[in-house]
Chain A
Amino acid sequence: MSSRLRPGPLLAGVAALLLALLGSVLLGAADLGWTRVLGEIWAQLTGGHSPLSEREAAILWRLRVPRAVLGALVGAALGVSGAAFQGVFRNPLADPYLLGAAGGAGLGVTLVITMLPQAGSAPGAAQAAAFAGALGGVALTWLLGRSAGNDAATLVLAGVAVGAFLAAGQTFLQQLRLESLQQVYLWILGRLSTAGWSDVLLVLPLLLVSGAVLCACGRLLDLLGTGDEEAASLGVHPGRARAVVLVAASLATAAAVSVAGLIGFVGLVVPHLVRLAFGGTYRIIVPLSLLFGGAFLVLADVLARTALAPAELPLGVITAFTGAPFFAVLLQRSRRA
């Protein structure tokens, strides 16, 4: 088992992501014909004549491509933050929503939709509320955990408590304003169906920064994995290292949630898959989880769009459908090992 990221796995990750993106651009509910799509791409590159009509070009460049890109970004964010959370907590069951991000985002969105229906329907309002809520949830967990010691186990327990509390708050608000149920659920289920370039531009900077920070933190996570004292003896401040990773991972999670809702299983399953295939050190797992997370979500979205085309399946359903059985298999294997 190597401890450094070799070119082979890295290339595999990049290739998986590019192939997924290509498939996503070629396939969709609108039947554009993959040769014509390739012709259009070629025409854009060479300045030649496009085989697509104006409307078909709009479907390709303003609906399908941004959706694929957003899927890649969200999947990458969930994959990389899932790996980071698993590293920090030394717990293979950790996922990006562990520290109250899901509950916070849900409460934020519900608050805006139920209490400020006018502002809530403004473009970007629900996204902003989800983002703020997710960060708020993590901050609350952090504060609660800190008052009780701030070690990894305490943080997880604090996250469970905060998550349950925020979810209860959300349910309470929904009961007050039942007419908003539909809108809240639409958001929570997780979707890329309304994705456009504006969503991509909204989250791209956040995901670039947090993704880069997390990829750079692989070695820190490996050191933390050897134990706090060991890490300290090697010149790492465990508390500070944990804080950096958690802030970056929470930021990535919050950004993903804000544009795509709560999409489960990506952050849990993808790091496991990577660990199984390529080895056990976080220097490898973290960047590869970013690449394969992106590829996984893009492929899941292709399925969501094409399985029942021209109808859609909710994306969260696809990731759970493919993720949950996979997770069961993983559990079996880890028990036998």
Chain B
Amino acid sequence: MAANSGAFARGVAASHRTRRAHVAHRPDHEDVMLGFRRIPALLLAVLALLFAGTSCATRTPSPAPEAPVEDPAAAFPAQITIEGQEPVTLPQQPKSIVSLSPTATESLYAIGAGEQVKATDQFSDFPQHAPRTDLNGLTSDAAAVAGHDPDLVIAPEGAGKLVEGLHELEIPVLVTPSAASLDEAYAQIETLGQATGHSRQAHDVTRRMRDDIAKIVADTPKPPEPLSYFHEVSPDFYTTTSHSFIGGVYRLFGLTNIADEAGGAGNDFPQLAQERIVQADPDLIFLADAKCCGATPQSAATRPGWDTLTAVRENRVIALDDDIAGRWGPRVVDLVRSVSDTVARTQRP
């Protein structure tokens, strides 16, 4: 964390320096805002914009930065550290990133590093315009990734062989493990900011996430008695305990997980016996296997014995978006909102 905030401070300082350098040919927000005070100034600003546009168009290619660079090259070389992973040294701001983690892809676009992303894995379906390829973080080999000529590869945990191969090719790889808590998710987004030269925006994103989540939680009516829930990961009842990342989201609302007894011993993703689910009679059931496996509140209601469940009778079986429920990126706010809506619904007559 200390390394992170240090780099963050460096990034901010550097960003002021670049801004001064850019004002000469590129009016930014502050200039335009000032312009609104007086019409002539506004006209001038518009003219300046036009001038900047045409001058760029007619100018011969210059070594000026191609991608929109928020933080300056001065934040580099940077040493990027994710807990439990080898530190990665980046000599300069990466301009050609290959992201093999759908979560990382979402985060990169959210923090304004999207234009640096040259290729993503086949599961990176958000945002839609991400440059998807048939790469796969767990099965692709280093040569296939190197073919995209990256100066930074972001790989998921478990891509051990691929990472070794990329080390051989001297391509920097940042391994992003699954976050176990919201704080780890925030830290990861900020690390991605540091690695791509978007520390400030990354910090903005995580601050907004924290604020949004805090507000949603605060605005959610508190149930008189703690509600219990079952979070379904697969139709044969694999689930998560409250010690997992997603369990942390439910904990925000004080929900109790019916699978906690089944977990333990480092197993946050146990398979629950179906009779146990029926016996526990959860107040809420969240289906995170709608996209993958076609689970719906209707199909859940037809499972043997499930018609006796409170959640089924009271219409409290909720199909989540599998992808949002399975990633630890900025869209976790949407997940928090779904859970909040569901909890709020139980309070209405």
A and B from one complex: yes
Point out residues on A near B: beta carbons under 8 Å. 28-31, 54-56, 58-59, 62-64, 66, 117, 120-121, 123, 175, 178-180, 182-183, 186, 191, 193-194, 196-198, 305, 308-314
Q: For the complex, give the distance between the alpha carbons of A313 and B270 in Å.
A: 9
Residues of A within 8 A of B347 (CB): none
Q: Does B314 contact A (CB under 8 A)?
A: no
> B292–A30 contact, CB under 8 A?
no
User: A121, A194, A197, A311 — which one has the most chain B CB atoms within 10 A of its CB?
Assistant: A311
Among candidates B136, B262, B293, residue contacting A311 with C-beta atoms closer than 8 Å: B262
Q: Does B236 contact A (CB under 8 A)?
A: yes
> A28–B275 contact, CB under 8 A?
yes
B: number of interface residues (CB 8 Å):
33
User: What's the minimum C-beta distance from B192 to chain A, rounded to whole angstroms?
Assistant: 24
User: Which B residues between 236 and 285 are near A, CB-CB below 8 angstroms?
Assistant: 236-237, 259, 261-263, 267, 270-276, 278-279, 281
Q: Does B85 contact A (CB under 8 A)?
A: no
Total A-B Cβ pairs within 8 A? 104
Q: Does B158 contact A (CB under 8 A)?
A: no
> B275–A312 contact, CB under 8 A?
no
Which 10 pairs of residues, A with B, have the shortest CB-CB distance?
A121-B294, A29-B273, A196-B304, A311-B262, A30-B279, A311-B270, A310-B276, A30-B275, A58-B305, A29-B276
User: What's the minimum C-beta distance from A143 to chain B, rounded to whole angstroms?
Assistant: 34
Residues of A within 8 A of B281 (CB): 55
> B272–A117 contact, CB under 8 A?
no
- The binding surface of chain A is classed by DSSP as helix
Q: For the complex, give the distance between the alpha carbons of A178 and B262 in Å.
A: 29
In the complex, what residue of chain B is closest to A193 when comparing beta carbons? B236
Q: For the complex, give the distance between the alpha carbons of A308 and B263 in Å.
A: 9
Residues of A within 8 A of B302 (CB): 123
Q: Does B58 contact A (CB under 8 A)?
A: no
User: What's the minimum C-beta distance from B319 to chain A, rounded to whole angstroms?
Assistant: 13
> B299–A123 contact, CB under 8 A?
yes
User: What's the minimum C-beta distance from B313 to chain A, rounded to whole angstroms?
Assistant: 11
Contact A56 to B236, CB < 8 A, known contacts A117-B294, A182-B293, A183-B293: no
Residues of A within 8 A of B272 (CB): 29, 310-312
Q: Does B92 contact A (CB under 8 A)?
A: no
Residues of A within 8 A of B276 (CB): 29-30, 309-310
User: What's the minimum C-beta distance from B77 to chain A, rounded to whole angstroms?
Assistant: 36
Among candidates B123, B237, B279, residue contacting A178 with C-beta atoms closer than 8 Å: B123
Q: For the complex, give the distance between the alpha carbons of A95 and B294 in Å.
A: 34
Point out residues on B near A: beta carbons under 8 Å. 122-123, 136, 139, 234-237, 259, 261-263, 267, 270-276, 278-279, 281, 292-294, 299, 302-305, 307-308
Q: For the complex, give the distance between the alpha carbons of A175 and B305 in Å.
A: 36
> A63–B304 contact, CB under 8 A?
yes
> B235–A194 contact, CB under 8 A?
yes
Residues of B within 8 A of A179 (CB): 123, 292
Contact A62 to B234, CB < 8 A, known contacts A29-B273, A311-B271: no
Q: For the complex, give the distance between the alpha carbons of A31 and B122 in Å.
A: 44
> A311–B304 contact, CB under 8 A?
no
In the complex, 17 of the A-B residue pairs with CB atoms within 8 angstroms, ordered by the A residue number, are: A30-B276, A55-B279, A55-B305, A58-B305, A63-B278, A117-B294, A123-B299, A186-B293, A194-B303, A305-B273, A308-B262, A310-B272, A310-B276, A311-B259, A311-B271, A312-B271, A313-B271
> A193–B278 contact, CB under 8 A?
no
Given contacts A58-B278, A183-B293, 13 further A-B contacts (CB under 8 A): A28-B273, A30-B273, A55-B278, A55-B279, A55-B305, A59-B278, A59-B279, A178-B123, A179-B123, A193-B271, A309-B262, A309-B276, A311-B267
Residues of B within 8 A of A30 (CB): 273, 275-276, 278-279
User: What's the minimum C-beta distance from B225 to chain A, rounded to whole angstroms?
Assistant: 19
In the complex, what residue of chain A is closest to B123 when comparing beta carbons? A179
Residues of A within 8 A of B303 (CB): 194, 196
> B234–A182 contact, CB under 8 A?
yes
User: A31, A58, A305 — which one has the most chain B CB atoms within 10 A of its CB?
Assistant: A58
> A62–B305 contact, CB under 8 A?
yes
User: B235, B237, B261, B271 — which one has the most chain A CB atoms within 10 A of its CB?
Assistant: B271
User: A117, A191, A193 — which one has the most chain B CB atoms within 10 A of its CB?
Assistant: A193
Residues of A within 8 A of B123 (CB): 178-179
> A191–B236 contact, CB under 8 A?
yes
In the complex, what residue of chain B is closest to A117 when comparing beta carbons? B294
Among candidates A28, A183, A314, residue contacting B292 with C-beta atoms closer than 8 Å: A183
Residues of A within 8 A of B308 (CB): 54-55, 58
User: What's the minimum C-beta distance from B261 to chain A, rounded to whole angstroms?
Assistant: 6
User: What's the minimum C-beta distance from B323 to chain A, rounded to whole angstroms?
Assistant: 10
